[in-house]
Structure 1
Amino acid sequence: MDDDRPEVLLTGLLFYDLVLTGLGRPPAPGEEIWTGGMGCGPGGIANLAVAASRFGLRTSLATVFGDDFYGAHCREVLAGQEGVDLALSRTADGWHTPVTVALALPGAGPAVNGVAPAADRALVTHGQEPPYSQDALMGDPPEARTALVHLEAEPRAWIAKAAANGTHVYADVGWDPTLQWSADLLDQLALCHAFLPNETEAMAYTRTDSAVAALGTLAELVPVAVVTRGAHGAIAVDQTTGEYAEVPALDVDVLDATGAGDVFGASFVAASLGGWPLAERLRFAVLAAGLSVRHHGGALAAPGWYGVRRWWHSLTDPALERAYGFLADRIPADVGPPVRHAPVTPPVLRP
Structure 2
Amino acid sequence: MGHVTRRRGRPTVYVAGSLFLDIVMCGLEHAPRPGEEQWIGGSGVMPGGVANQAVACARLGLNSAVITYLGQDRPGSWVREMLADELVDMSYAEYTPHQNITVSLVMEGDRALTTHGKDEVPIPRDDLPAPDVFLVSLPYLVRAQDRIAQWRAQGTIVIADAGWDATGEWPREHLEALAAADVFVPNCSEAMHYTRTLTIPEAAEALTSFVPTVVVTCGAQGVHIAQRSAGSPTAVVVPALEVDAIDTTGAGDAFSAGLATGLATGAPLTDAVHLGQCAAAWTVCRIGGSSAAPHMGELGEWVAQDPQIDALAGQSVRNIQAKLDSVTAL
Give TM-score scaled by structure 1 length: 0.83
Letter in 2 for 1:149: V
Segments of structure 2 that go 5 or more residues without pairing to the other structure are 326-330
Post-superposition offset of 1:176: 1.4
- Per-residue CA distance 1:179-238 (angstroms, 9 max, x = gap): 122222100011110000011010010010011110011122211101111232211123
* Preserved contact between residue 245 and residue 279 of structure 1 (Cα < 8 Å): no
- Where does 1:154-173 land on structure 2 (aligned, <5 Å)? 155-157=142-144, 158-173=147-162
> What is the aligned counterpart of 1:84 among 80, 88, 93?
88
Post-superposition offset of 1:286: 1.1
Letter in 1 for 2:187: N
Post-superposition offset of 1:270: 0.8
- Where does 1:12-161 land on structure 2 (aligned, <5 Å)? 12-79=17-84, 81-92=85-96, 95-106=97-108, 119-128=109-118, 133-135=121-123, 137-152=124-139, 155-157=142-144, 158-161=147-150
Post-superposition offset of 1:333: 9.6
* Cα distance change on mapping 1:252 and 1:60 into 2, 3 Å: same
- Per-residue CA distance 1:58-80 (angstroms, 9 max, x = gap): 1121222212221111111212x
Decide which moves more: 48-57 or 326-335: 326-335
2-structure distance, mates of 1:217, 1:295: 35
Letter in 2 for 1:134: P
1-structure distance, mates of 2:89, 2:28: 36
Post-superposition offset of 1:47: 0.6
Letter in 2 for 1:70: P
1-structure distance, mates of 2:127, 2:210: 26
Q: Which residue of 2 aligns with 1:200?
A: 189
* Preserved contact between residue 304 and residue 314 of structure 2 (Cα < 8 Å): no
* Cα distance change on mapping 1:325 and 1:253 into 2, 3 Å: closer
Check if 1:9 corresponds to 2:14.
Answer: yes
* Cα distance change on mapping 1:169 and 1:321 into 2, 3 Å: closer
* Cα distance change on mapping 1:153 and 1:17 into 2, 3 Å: closer
> What is the aligned counterpart of 1:258 among 249, 257, 266?
249
Q: Which residue of 2 aligns with 1:299?
A: 290
- Per-residue CA distance 1:121-173 (angstroms, 9 max, x = gap): 1000111355xx521x5344321111000111882224344334432210011
Secondary structure, counterpart of 2:142 in structure 1: coil
* Cα distance change on mapping 1:37 and 1:105 into 2, 3 Å: same
- Where does 1:192-271 land on structure 2 (aligned, <5 Å)? 192-239=181-228, 244-271=235-262
2-structure distance, mates of 1:332, 1:76: 31
Q: Which residue of 2 aligns with 1:188?
A: 177
Letter in 2 for 1:105: M
Q: Per residue, is there more helix in 1 or in 2?
A: 2
Segments of structure 1 that go 5 or more residues without pairing to the other structure are 107-118, 336-351
- Per-residue CA distance 1:107-130 (angstroms, 9 max, x = gap): xxxxxxxxxxxx211000111355
Post-superposition offset of 1:44: 0.5
Q: Which residue of 1 aligns with 2:328?
A: none
2-structure distance, mates of 1:25, 1:231: 24
Secondary structure, counterpart of 1:155 in structure 2: helix
1-structure distance, mates of 2:51, 2:191: 24
Number of aligned residues? 315
1-structure distance, mates of 2:211, 2:269: 15
- Per-residue CA distance 1:245-293 (angstroms, 9 max, x = gap): 3222222222211111111111101111222233222222111101111
Give TM-score scaled by structure 2 length: 0.87
Post-superposition offset of 1:240: 6.0
